[in-house]
Structure 1
Amino acid sequence: VYLRVTSKIKKLMLYGVVLALFGEVVFSLLLGMYEYRLENVPLYVPLGHSLIYAAVFYIQKEKIIQHNKARVVSILYWGMIVYSSLWLLLDQDRLGFLCMLGVVLFLKKKPGNELFFLIMFFMVVYLELLGTYYQCWAWPDTWFSTVSFITSSNPPSGISVFYFGFDIGCLWIYKKLNRQKWSRMKSLRLLSNS
């Protein structure tokens, strides 16, 4: 995949590996937010984060999705709310529901990128369900195993909000390390919107 993407996405993927490794060490090993089966951070995880980032970037650009963008956003948005609400009702997943509300708030404050983040939400849902089903990792019954009134499913339904932090972090690093290219891209965007 890395060999077939644009140079911008290659950079974002490399930044993502570093950022993902840091995030996994902090959230899994130091804070105990979730735990991998062997109580470490498997090698595939930081690489997988970058792969997901690139996949969502390209999925959102597919012609059929772009052609039906408003409809896709609406379906994914309401699907996200229904999905997390069902987990709350059926499994007392308060953490997942609160995270989903965080996603809703985030999307309201950052309009224009809903498609990317909603596709990311469901990509994360899929991967979290697979990873926990096969017991590659597990989430505790309560947030950080200490906040008893914030119960959690395994996995929490809206946990993708943390992936959003990863996505934003990758982009922030790219902006800082590629200021000239970023400025040029923003200028071209402004011209095309005029």
Structure 2
Amino acid sequence: MLRHFPKAGVAYIHRKRDYFIAGFTFFCVAVCLLSDANASIEKQNALGVCGWVFLIGLLLGENKEIRVQVAIAVAFATIGEHFASPFMGGYTYRYHNVPAYVPPGHGMVYLTAVALARSGLFQTYAREIAGFVVLVCGAWSFWGISGFSEQGDAVGALLFVVFLIYLFKGRSPMVYLAAFFITTWLELIGTAVGTWKWAAIDPVLKLPQGNPPSGVAAWYCLVDAVALGGAPRLLAIGKIMRERLKAVKSVKTVFQVAGDE
């Protein structure tokens, strides 16, 4: 069952950059969400500007593939935010909008998942971390459907099953494990301070859901999966377009030279 995860005892390089990205994002998430608890629209917009500056700064040290993955994650997650929140009402922000800091925030969250997934800590203790995540998330999901929780969380339990499928059948289980930690962190803080609130009844499934749902990391796994799968295709398309552009320029150069002669 755990064959997809690296074995313990193997030496991996501990890059300070990976831990800096993770620590910085965890810190920024807490500061941003706590600041937005009683913020005006203007302050939300200012937080958004800061988010883009931070994200661009972090991406300067990444390769082209990671940058493309982050761009895809931001685009896909932003579209999903507008569909799930203002349109469907699955959860609602204080101003019934999608705050300006959310798109760059998704980029930082995705980059954090990638950084943690490749870090020496996660690579060395992958199986132990996987076991911890499954137990914690499983207990959380069980609590939601046990009758002891305040509003029930059937949606969270379903999402937990989806998360397990991603974790043991997906192409990047280490990224999904890392996503659980950062997304749980931001969801617990965001809902606790009232930055957003999940609907008691999911508008699509018509089932009770927690605030936040226990398996909410599954939604972020979808974002990660789209980014990981889309980046190679987008890079390949870009390469083809560049080659065709070079070919067109070469043909133009030949005709120019011929015309000059």
* Change in 2 beyond 3 A, CA 1:38/1:109: same
How far residue 157 of structure 1 moved from its aligned partner, in angstroms, is 0.9
How far residue 155 of structure 1 moved from its aligned partner, in angstroms, is 0.8
Structure whose CA Rg is larger:
2
2:170 pairs with 1:119 = no
2:132 pairs with 1:75 = yes
Provide the TM-score with structure 1 as the length reference. 0.83
Instruction: String of CA shifts for 1:134-184, please: whole Å, max 9, x gaps.
Output: 11111011112871xx11111111112111111112223212211389xxx
How far residue 133 of structure 1 moved from its aligned partner, in angstroms, is 1.0
The one-letter code of the counterpart of 1:67 is T
Residue 63 of structure 1 aligns with which residue?
120
SS at match of 1:4: coil
2:188 pairs with 1:129 = yes
In structure 1, C-alpha distance between the alignment counterparts of 2:73 and 2:204, rounded to whole Å: 28
Matches within 5 A, 1:141-152: 141-144=200-203, 147=206, 150-152=207-209
Contact 1:11–1:174 (CA under 8 A) maintained in structure 2: yes
In structure 1, C-alpha distance between the alignment counterparts of 2:168 and 2:73, rounded to whole Å: 25
My pick for the range that moved more, 150-159 or 117-126, is 117-126
The one-letter code of the counterpart of 2:166 is F
Q: Which runs of 5+ in 2 are unaligned?
A: 1-57, 239-261
The one-letter code of the counterpart of 2:81 is E
* Change in 2 beyond 3 A, CA 1:42/1:68: same
2:157 pairs with 1:97 = yes
Instruction: String of CA shifts for 1:72-124, please: whole Å, max 9, x gaps.
Output: 222222222122222333322111111101212333432x6322212212321
In structure 1, C-alpha distance between the alignment counterparts of 2:219 and 2:111, rounded to whole Å: 17
Contact 2:166–2:173 (CA under 8 A) maintained in structure 1: no
How far residue 60 of structure 1 moved from its aligned partner, in angstroms, is 1.6
In structure 2, C-alpha distance between the alignment counterparts of 1:72 and 1:45, rounded to whole Å: 28
Residue 211 of structure 2 aligns with which residue?
154
The one-letter code of the counterpart of 1:19 is F
Matches within 5 A, 1:152-191: 152-179=209-236
Contact 2:65–2:232 (CA under 8 A) maintained in structure 1: no
Q: Which runs of 5+ in 1 are unaligned?
A: 182-194
Provide the TM-score with structure 2 as the length reference. 0.63
Residue 197 of structure 2 aligns with which residue?
138
Query: What's the % identity of the aligned pairs?
Result: 26
In structure 2, C-alpha distance between the alignment counterparts of 1:127 and 1:121, rounded to whole Å: 10
Instruction: String of CA shifts for 1:38-84, please: whole Å, max 9, x gaps.
Output: 01111111111111110111112221221222222222222221222
2:18 pairs with 1:18 = no
Cα RMSD for the two superposed structures: 2.2
How far residue 12 of structure 1 moved from its aligned partner, in angstroms, is 1.5
